[in-house]
C-alpha cells in the first residue's frame, strides 16, 4: 500500500506525518520541487518512528514521480500559500499551472490512483485536476469540508465546554467566506446544537468558521497546516481502509441540489472506490439560497480558469 503526498511544505508534511503515525499505508512518498526538501522531511518523520512507535516508511524525492508509481491515493498540496491580504482566488493563475503539471505526472505514473486536492483556491483547483486527469468525479475531489467542519466543531466545543468528539456537523458550499454551515444538522452527543446555545452566539461561531482560514493567516502570516494536513490524512484513511465514512468534500455536482457541473462541498460516503455516493440533504429555502450564492461565487472563478486555459491553449 503506497500513498503519495505532493508538496512537502507545512500541509503536505503534516499530512505525511499523520499518515505515518496512524500507519495508514506501508509507504508514504513525499514529493517536492525543492532539492532535498522532501527527503529531509521524510527522514525526520521516519526518525520519529521509534519514539512514537510506528513502522510506516516515509520516503522523500525531488521531482521524481517514477518513485510514486502505483500509488493508491495521491494528495496534492502543491502551490503557493496565502499571504496576508490575499484571497484564495488571488492564487488561481499560479496554482492552476502547478496543479495541472502535477496532475499530469500523477496520472502518468499512477493511472488508477484516487486524487485528493488540497491546493487553494480549493474548489477551482479540484476542477483543474479533474480537467487534466480526465478521471471520473468519484476519483478526483477536494479536501475542504472536513477542515471547515473541524473548525466549526472546535469553536462549538470551546463555547459549550464539551469534548469535540461529541460534536457532529455538516457544512456545504465553497471553501471560504461563502461556505454554508448547517446548524440544523449539527448535534452534540445527539442533541441539536440549537437547544444548547443561543442563536446570536451560534451565528457568531458560524461567521468565525467562514473566515477561519483568514484568521490564521492574520495571526501567522501564512496559511494553516496542522488541521488541513490532518483532514487530508483522514480522507486517505477512509479510502485505504474502506471505512465508508460520511464526510463533506468538494465534489463535482451532477444534478444534486439542482446544480450541475460545479465543484462544491457536499456530504458523501468515502470508501475504497473514492466517492461511493453523494448524499443529497433536504435543504430549506434559506439553506438553498446560501448554497446558490456559494455556487455563483465558485462558478465565477471556474469561468475565469476556463478563460485562462483557453488563452494558454
Catalytic residues: 175
CB 75 within 8 A of CB 3: yes
12 is in an annotated binding site: yes
Query: How many C-beta atoms surround the C-beta of residue 131 within 10 A?
Result: 17
9 is in an annotated binding site: yes
229 is in an annotated binding site: no
32 is in an annotated binding site: yes
Q: Which of 170, 167, 149, 165 is nearest to 227 (CA)?
A: 149
67 is in an annotated binding site: no
- C-alpha 73/C-alpha 201 separation (Å) is 40
159 is in an annotated binding site: no
Cell of residue 176, nine digits:
471560504
Query: How many C-beta atoms surround the C-beta of residue 89 within 10 A?
Result: 16
53 is in an annotated binding site: no
Q: Which of 18, 16, 19 is nearest to 40 (CA)?
A: 16
26 is in an annotated binding site: no
273 is in an annotated binding site: no
82 is in an annotated binding site: yes
135-140: long-range contacts (C-beta < 8 A, 24 or more apart)?
135/107, 137/251, 137/252, 137/254, 137/275, 138/273, 138/274, 138/275, 138/276, 139/113, 139/114, 139/115, 139/274, 139/275, 140/114, 140/115
Four-CA torsion 21, 24, 25, 30, nearest 10 degrees: -60
- C-alpha 74/C-alpha 188 separation (Å) is 33
8 is in an annotated binding site: yes
CB 123 within 8 A of CB 298: yes
For the annotated binding site for substrate, the residues are 82, 88, 120, 151
Question: Can you say which residues are annotated as belonging to the binding site for NAD(+)?
Answer: 7-12, 32, 95, 118-120
Q: Which residues are annotated as a binding site?
A: 7-12, 32, 82, 88, 95, 118-120, 151
Amino acid at each position: 500500500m503506497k500513498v503519495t503526498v505532493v508538496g512537502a511544505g507545512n500541509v503536505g508534511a503534516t499530512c505525511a506525518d499523520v499518515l505515518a503515525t496512524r500507519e495508514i499505508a506501508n509507504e508514504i512518498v513525499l514529493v517536492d520541487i525543492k532539492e532535498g526538501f522532501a527527503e529531509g522531511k521524510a527522514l525526520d518523520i521516519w526518525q520519529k518512528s521509534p519514539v512514537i512507535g510506528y513502522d510506516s516508511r516515509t520516503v522523500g524525492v525531488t521531482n521524481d514521480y517514477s518513485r510514486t508509481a502505483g500509488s493508491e491515493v495521491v494528495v496534492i498540496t502543491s502551490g503557493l500559500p496565502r499571504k496576508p491580504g490575499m484571497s484564495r482566488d488571488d492564487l488561481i493563475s499560479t496554482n492552476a499551472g502547478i496543479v495541472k503539471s502535477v496532475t499530469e505526472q500523477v496520472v502518468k505514473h499512477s493511472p488508477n490512483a484516487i486524487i485528493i486536492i488540497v491546493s487553494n483556491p480549493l474548489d477551482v483547483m479540484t476542477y483543474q485536476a479533474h480537467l487534466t486527469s480526465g478521471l471520473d468525479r468519484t476519483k478526483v475531489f477536494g479536501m475542504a469540508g472536513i477542515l471547515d467542519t473541524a473548525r466549526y466543531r472546535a469553536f462549538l466545543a470551546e463555547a459549550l465546554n464539551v469534548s469535540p468528539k461529541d460534536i457532529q456537523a455538516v457544512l456545504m458550499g465553497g471553501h471560504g467566506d461563502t461556505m454554508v454551515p448547517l446548524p440544523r444538522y449539527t448535534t452534540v452527543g445527539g442533541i441539536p446544537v440549537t437547544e444548547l446555545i443561543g442563536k446570536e452566539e451560534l451565528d457568531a461561531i458560524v461567521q468565525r468558521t467562514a473566515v477561519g482560514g483568514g484568521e490564521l493567516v492574520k495571526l501567522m502570516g501564512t496559511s494553516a497546516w496542522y488541521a488541513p494536513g490532518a483532514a487530508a490524512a483522514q480522507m486517505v484513511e477512509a479510502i485505504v481502509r474502506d471505512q465508508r465514512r460520511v464526510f463533506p468534500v468538494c465534489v463535482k455536482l451532477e444534478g444534486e441540489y439542482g446544480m450541475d457541473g460545479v465543484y462544491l462541498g457536499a456530504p458523501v460516503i468515502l470508501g475504497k472506490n473514492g466517492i461511493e455516493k453523494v448524499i443529497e440533504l433536504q435543504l430549506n429555502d434559506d439553506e438553498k439560497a446560501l448554497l446558490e450564492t456559494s455556487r455563483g461565487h465558485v462558478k465565477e472563478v471556474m469561468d475565469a480558469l476556463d478563460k485562462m486555459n483557453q488563452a494558454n491553449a
